[in-house]
Chains A and B, each alone.
Chain A
Amino acid sequence: MATEQVPIHEVRPVTQELKIPARFIPQPVLEPGHTYSSITDHISSIVLRRKMPLIWYVGMGLSTILFLVLLAAIGQLIIVGVGIWGINHPVAWGFDILNFVWWIGIGHAGTLISAILLLLRQEWRTSINRFAEAMTLFAVASAGLYPALHTGRPWYDFWLFPYPNTMTLWPQFRSPLIWDVFAVSTYATVSFLFWYTGLIPDLATLRDRANSFFGRKIYGMLALGWRGSAKHWYRYESAYLLLAGLSTPLVLSVHTVVSFDFAVAQLPGWHSTFFPPYFVAGAVYAGFAMVLTLAIPFRKIFKLEDFITIKHLENMGKVMLATGMIVFYSYCMEAFFAFYSGNVFEKYMYLNRATGPYWKMFAMLIICNGLAPQLMWFKRLRTSAFWLFVTAQFVNVGMWLERFVIIPTSLHRDFLPSSWGMYHGTRWDWSMFIGSIGLFLFLLFLFVRFLPMISIFEMRTLVPEAHPIADEPTVEKAI
């Protein structure tokens, strides 16, 4: 038995003899040559020692300005009311829900990467999960703004939750909107816990390496007394796995519930049973596009090419292609159902989408979500940061257009021609939207400044020394 444990290359040097073509050799998820300390040094120094590059100041300045635009838009909304938005009869749901769904969708990549890929033991998630989780949180924060503010009297938002009140009123539990409240607040809570739990060992690293008094104190408090003892690690691992298990259903449930907002209504264009899978695929699609949008510039700015390798980008490109195809298939199915239903309203709705007053939106949607992701079939484009970035931008725009096409174009012409109308976002709608992008970027820039954007301790597990035996196929395994 003992002889069978001998590493296989000592018996037969496989790779040299077989001459495996280069494209079959897996690309590394960590560039070679890194050690425990080089990883820790590099990532923690971004936060602790290195001066932020000029571009960080530019980005932070710009996003602060946009954030101020958001505050102005919110102020105006509170003073004047939701009348400043373009919503009115017949389109009572406009930019508010549109942007909400857009942002919530973007948030999905975080949970997918951190939970599902963790459970599937996809090592390549390691260097992007922290980043993607933070992005999820900030996207959920931006998304949460819209339902909170669209009530018109945000100071009464606690009415959304069931609690014993002097009106003896409970929320309408049969309404998908209240399911949304639970889905999104659970999602935000679990995502936050997951992200924070993952941060604890790194916060302890920062505490130990911080030079300043306040740095030590603050990181120390946030690290919750982490000492890295075996007991700590043991508890940590089980907590992290449990949270991963908890978040996994959330990846599916959140956007499913969001899609119910539409699917449960009886409006042609909304009322269809395949909305949940369609929305979930769209969400993952949008999420990966946003991770790419952020990861590509950030890895350049902070010189993280060794950690976020081209293999990561390529994998994300593949996920984008796969989910993009599902989304496009859904568009085709929508058209099919509309005609197969034999229902005059369904048919009209679809024709109106494609050829009615909003046809430009529809055409752009097909270009962005139908055609652009097809670029990812080509390995040369999939492994080029530039082309990935370009495609991701198409997807970002495309997913926004998708929600526009679903929401206002279904509402603006319903069963009764006398009640038809048009919808346009006002400048306050746009300020809110641009402002929420500002909030998102603002939080993100703060995040990269104060917290390690790549999980230090998980990266250390990718260093060859971390598993000297496991990596080498043994005879037993080979047989």
Chain B
Amino acid sequence: MAQIFHRSTNTLSRVTIFGAVFMIGFVLWVIGGIVRSPYATDQGIAREQPVPFSHQHHVAGLGIDCRYCHTSVETSNFAGIPPTATCMNCHAQIWTSADMLEPVRASYSTGKPIVWSRVHRLPDFVHFNHSIHVAKGIGCATCHGRIDKMALTYQASPLTMQWCLDCHRNPERFVRPRDQVFNMAYVALNQEQIGPKLVHEYNIQSLTACSTCHY
């Protein structure tokens, strides 16, 4: 009877058996990479907005404080998105004829708010609270990056649970003096010394119980 398989099958089967181990390892590694990549986390991707609002111009250029627009950041979960009226405080006078600002003026005259597209979006099963972070000395830039350098707003951090927990487990590595929270350019030169001191001073706890964020 003729051979059912060619001689090469021997080599082929050995290669597939050993290859499978590496193949499976490789596939798992790729999947692990994808779930951490911007493709899955949306990190670093600028959103298309109805008006190309630039934090770079308004924050770095004009030196407006975050709280001028994000009014509730110190008092509530939600940082707040400015109403059209806030823009019109200035844009009623400057750049009044710019095409770019047409949606702002339209919104102001009709009273229909501008529909910004969200940049940061935690899933519904996660509760986040701005006021506690601001009160305990976590700077906007720690989580949102250098907003003052963004022409279009994008998400600077991955916002994975791992990311939240990295800080909740070791808040001393990120905490800054309260008066520096809104300072975009703040850099701590001696975090090892001031970190533990501030943690003590502000009585910062390490909150890792599931019910801190999931309730």
B13 part of interface (Cβ distance < 8 Å): yes
Contact B161 A166 (CB under 8 A): yes
Contact A225 B13 (CB under 8 A): yes
Contact B35 A166 (CB under 8 A): yes
Contact B13 A167 (CB under 8 A): no
Residues of B within 8 A of A (CB): 4-5, 9-10, 13, 32, 35-36, 158, 160-162, 165
**Range, interface on chain A:** 10 to 19
Query: Shortest CB–CB separation between residue A132 and chain B, in angstroms?
Result: 28
Query: Shortest CB–CB separation between residue B97 and chain A, in angstroms?
Result: 48
Contact A166 B4 (CB under 8 A): no
Of the residues A166, A207, A220, contact of B160 by C-beta under 8 Å: A166
CB within 8 Å for A166 and B5 given contacts A224-B13, A225-B10, A225-B13: no
Measured between beta carbons, the chain A residues less than 8 angstroms from B32 are: 164
Measured between beta carbons, the chain B residues less than 8 angstroms from A168 are: 161-162, 165
Measured between beta carbons, the chain B residues less than 8 angstroms from A217 are: 4
Measured between beta carbons, the chain B residues less than 8 angstroms from A164 are: 32
Measured between beta carbons, the chain A residues less than 8 angstroms from B165 are: 168
**Cα distance A169–B35 in the bound complex, in angstroms:** 15
Query: Shortest CB–CB separation between residue A81 and chain B, in angstroms?
Result: 15
Please count the residue pairs between chain A and chain B whose beta carbons lie under 8 angstroms apart in the complex: 25
Contact B161 A169 (CB under 8 A): yes
Query: Shortest CB–CB separation between residue A294 and chain B, in angstroms?
Result: 33
Residues of A within 8 A of B (CB): 164-169, 207, 216-217, 220, 224-225
Of the residues A167, A220, A224, contact of B4 by C-beta under 8 Å: A220
Contact B162 A167 (CB under 8 A): yes
Of the residues A167, A169, A220, contact of B5 by C-beta under 8 Å: A220
Contact A167 B10 (CB under 8 A): no
Contact B13 A166 (CB under 8 A): no
**Cα distance A216–B3 in the bound complex, in angstroms:** 10
Q: List 18 A-B contacts (CB under 8 A).
A: A164-B32, A165-B35, A165-B162, A166-B158, A166-B160, A166-B161, A166-B162, A167-B160, A167-B162, A168-B161, A169-B161, A207-B4, A216-B4, A217-B4, A220-B5, A225-B9, A225-B10, A225-B13
Given A164-B32, A166-B158, A225-B10, 8 more contacts at CB 8 Å? A165-B35, A166-B36, A167-B161, A168-B161, A207-B4, A217-B4, A220-B4, A225-B13
**Cα distance A216–B1 in the bound complex, in angstroms:** 12
**Cα distance A169–B162 in the bound complex, in angstroms:** 8
